[in-house]
Amino acid sequence: MLEITTNHYLVLGFILFAIGLVGLVVRRNLIVVLMSIELMLNSVNLNLIAFSHQLADLAGQVFAVFTITVAAGEAAVGLGILLALYRLRGTTEIDVPSELRG
């Protein structure tokens, strides 16, 4: 318990991933859903860093750089969709009944 190993990072990573996943599933406001997605992507980085350290291999850190890049890009587009949604419907809630059925 007191010796911090890779496993600690993995468990923490998954806890954050799960919190993000729950947030994506249950929150009705799109902005919080977007934040949950960012949380999930960031938690994968924890895995990558931890493995990189254990394996003494830089590839994990490089992969994490790309993950951050993608997270940033997706945030931009997600917010664009949010703005378009807001202008169309005056709200950013995502389960207001609409024309598309399941």
Give least dist CB 61 to other proteins, A: 5
Token pair in block for residue 48:
């990558």
Residues 25-84 binding other proteins (CB under 8 A) are 25-84
Residue 29 bridge partners (DSSP) = 93
97 binding other proteins? (CB under 8 A): no
Query: Helix or strand or coil: residue 74?
Result: helix
Q: Which residues pair with 93 in a beta bridge?
A: 29
* Shortest distance (Å) from residue 97 CB to other proteins: 11
Alpha-carbon distance of 39 to 31, in angstroms, equals 13
Q: How far is the CB of 96 from other proteins (least distance, A)?
A: 10
